[in-house]
Structure 1
Amino acid sequence: MTAESISLDDLERDALTEIVNIGVSRAASSLRKMIGDQVLLSVPSIEVVSQRRAARLISEREASELVAVRQDFSGPFSGRALLIFPETNSLELVRAVTGGELTAQEVVDLEHEALAETGNIILNSCLATMANMLRRSLTMTIPEVLRGSGAMLFEVNEDGASEGLVLFLYIDFAVRKHDIRGYIAMIMDLPSLGVLKELLEEFIATIVGDTD
């Protein structure tokens, strides 16, 4: 099995984008309840790229160090989910989530906890929605907060041995008039992405069947 043989076609990518958008809209609703203010989340695009390419994409867009919340997931397809922010955005996010009334030091002190909770809500909503709409179930580990470069987050090996692919999702994230950009990435090996592709084909066939 090669990366080319399991690349998503336009219909599959559109279906996955729609599924993920439903997931992030549920996450936005959960965050709205948590912070008592409007939260807007959307995923305008999904790309399937190598881990090396994902690291390059994010380093081209972001000059600063990155902060990520990571959760592993397992089920019919398995992998590692990351919610990634530029470091400057992560503190902005904490200010928004905590109501903007903390001192600079308090924001720094609370950053880890607030990021883990926010990441948990967003990643869980995305993955639970994917699993539910594809009629499967996934198990997730507790969130972990990481800092580093794109190469570190995407586990790029210097010898080029990593063969995983990344579902790379750009997200627009607006809360309390703060514009916060981020990324969701799901690192999967080829067999897992192959299973996901098959499940998307089943999902599309069901929809087509329902509209006939």
Structure 2
Amino acid sequence: MTVPPEAALSDLERDALTELVNIGVSRAAASLRQMVGGEVLLSVPSVEIIEERIASTLIEEREGSDLVAVRQDFTGAFKGRALLIFPQSSGAELLRAVVGDEIPPEEAAEMEREALAETGNIILNNCLATMANMLRRSFNMSLPQVLRGDGRMLLEGTQEGGEGLVLFLYINFAVRDRSLRGYIAMVMDLPSLGALRRLVADFIERVMDDDAEAAPR
């Protein structure tokens, strides 16, 4: 399945979505700084809409098949599943960044799960909340779940009635000078992506109208 025209982003829509998400992750970084007690840098260089299959292949080609993800379902003006995905090694690195290097082995697995769930909850909630606010809509989100597996298991077959499309974001993520790699994937069906595009178009129009009113006459 290729991305149909009604879901494909224009350059202006892609730029607007990238800016919205970067505002969200900037707010998430501020919250994470309080959690880890150190500097957190987060940015999203680009946003694309691609097929689930392509997204899972991209992640596995870059990171291998040993992945960990935090998933939260969302409903509202559009609906789907949001995932924060890390290579397994980054999950362990995140735990050390949050609680330090001295971790009792018998507690490491549970502590890593809690650190991942909290980190995912902060990042995904800030991204969706910022999008909701800027697009003048609201969303409800489920509690975070920590999943482990390969890209296919995490991403594919999550939509009823066939393969979904993914709003796919690469994250530059640094915590206390530890460089971590991650991805945000928002898996949505075609009607939801169409609704998102319409809301982004309305947002762009409002921004352009505001800029025109603010311009010197």
| TM-score, length-scaled by structure 1 | 0.94
What residue in structure 2 maps to residue 189 of structure 1? 189
Paired residues for 1:11-160 under 5 Å = 11-156=12-157
Task: Give 1:46 shift.
Answer: 1.0
Partner AA of 1:121 in structure 2: I
CA distance in 1, matches of 2:34, 2:63: 30
C-alpha separation in 1, matches of 2:177 and 2:108:
18
Assess if the C-alpha contact under 8 Å between 1:64 and 1:88 holds in 2.
Answer: no
Matched-pair contact (CA < 8 Å) for 2:70–2:85 = yes
Separation in structure 1 between the aligned mates of residue 163 and residue 111 of structure 2, nearest angstrom: 36
Amino acid in structure 2 at the alignment position of 1:206: R
Cα drift, residue 104 of structure 1: 4.5
The Cα offsets for residues 17-49 of structure 1, whole Å up to 9 and x where unpaired, read as 000000000000000011110000000011110
Partner secondary structure for residue 115 of structure 1:
helix
SS at match of 1:5: coil
In structure 1, what is the Cα distance between the partners aligned to 2:105 and 2:30? 27
Q: Distance in 1 between matches of 2:186 and 2:148?
A: 17
SS where residue 9 of structure 2 aligns?
A: coil
Say if 1:173 and 1:181, in contact at 8 Å, map to a contact too.
yes
Structure 2 regions of 5+ residues with no counterpart? 213-217
Question: Would you say how many aligned residue pairs link Structure 1 and Structure 2?
Answer: 208
Deviations 1:68-97 (A, max 9, x none): 000000001000000000001100011101
- State the Cα deviation string for residues 107-128 of structure 1 (Å, max 9, x = none): 3331111111110000000000
- Residues 23, 126 of structure 1: 8 Å contact kept: yes
Unaligned runs of 5+ in 1: none
What is the root-mean-square deviation of aligned Cα atoms in Å?
A: 1.4
SS at match of 2:102: coil
- Aligned-partner Cα distance in 2 for 1:4–1:61: 28
Moved over 4 A (4+): none
Could you tell me whether the CA contact under 8 Å between 2:65 and 2:149 is conserved in 1? Answer: no
